[in-house]
Amino acid sequence: MIQETGLNQHSSLYIYTDQSSYEPLARIDKRGNDPEKVMYFHTDLNGCPEELTDENGKILWECSFQLWGKRIHEIEHEPIEQNLRYQGQYLDRETGLHYNTFRYYDPDIGRFTQPDPIGLLGGFNLYQYAPNGLTWVDPIGLCFSSVKWKKGQSIWKKGKLSEHYNKHVGKQGEFGDISMKQYHEQMEKFLLESSYNFKEAKIGNQLIKFDPNTNRVLIGHAKDREILSFYKAQPSLVKDDPFTDAINEALRKTGLSIKDVIYK
């Protein structure tokens, strides 16, 4: 979606984060001879808009979603219709479906409404959107890919790489005798891995990814796209189970309640 035009010479121009991205950055509205109105998108990790603000940071529109894009609540603080959803998607308000270029996506079930046009070459699940809706996107409805995090060691929140390397490698020996660079590389590898055995959850802006086979736990910040922690849960330190413990710690830090947890 580049531009919308409507009645009364009303148009909306969309600006994205870069020329190859489907993640919205700003929207410029123009109505007749009125001055242009510039608004800014604030998105989740997967690029789905959560807020639209004016130049002064005032929230004009906001919406919260369940894991696969179903609306929980939508608030228009001013009469502004905002229809962008997951990257590359546009909401059809009459049907509730999301136009996804080559297919329609149903957020109520987290699936496409038409099968993959290349058949079984695209996999056994012909209607799948992506492995999960938190860290994967499919902007054109044909091929999913992982979302973009920050690059290199700058992906870590400031000070967190050395802090957690010293704790989880130096002090607790969770990863054996490895360097900080190797610790970072193991985190990057796990960040990109996908498996139906993995458990994932979102609490506010905190994302949790857990591998029950290795007890690896990764915690990231959705809006900042930064890593907060990476560790292997040690049996002697586990209270309930590693995944539940990570969720409870995120709830404590964010001040949210269990009803605010969104599971994969």
Reported pTM: 0.73
Task: Tell me the CA distances in angstroms from 263 to 96, 136, 137, 191, 195, one per residue in order.
Answer: 22, 15, 17, 17, 15
Give tens-digit pLDDT for 63-80.
Answer: 999 889 999 999 999 999
The separation between CA 168 and the C-alpha centre of its own chain, rounded to angstroms, equals 26
Q: Which two tokens stand for residue 48?
A: 């789905």
Ramachandran area for residue 32 (φ above 0: left; ψ -120 to 50: alpha; else beta): left
Q: What residue spans define the domains of the chain? A: 3-146, 152-263
* 27 close to 42: Cβ distance less than 8 angstroms: no
CATH number of the 152-263 domain: 3.10.450
* Amino acid 150: pLDDT: 62
User: Which portions of the chain are predicted below pLDDT 50?
Assistant: none
* Amino acid 19: pLDDT: 86
| Residue 263 host element (H or E) | strand 261-263
Give tens-digit pLDDT for 79-115.
Answer: 999 999 999 999 999 999 999 999 999 999 999 999 9
* 129 close to 115: Cβ distance less than 8 angstroms: no
CA distance 71 to 68: 9
What are the CB-based long-range contacts (under 8 Å, 24+) for 158-163? 160/226, 160/227, 160/228, 160/229, 161/227
The sign of the CA dihedral 238, 244, 250, 251 is negative
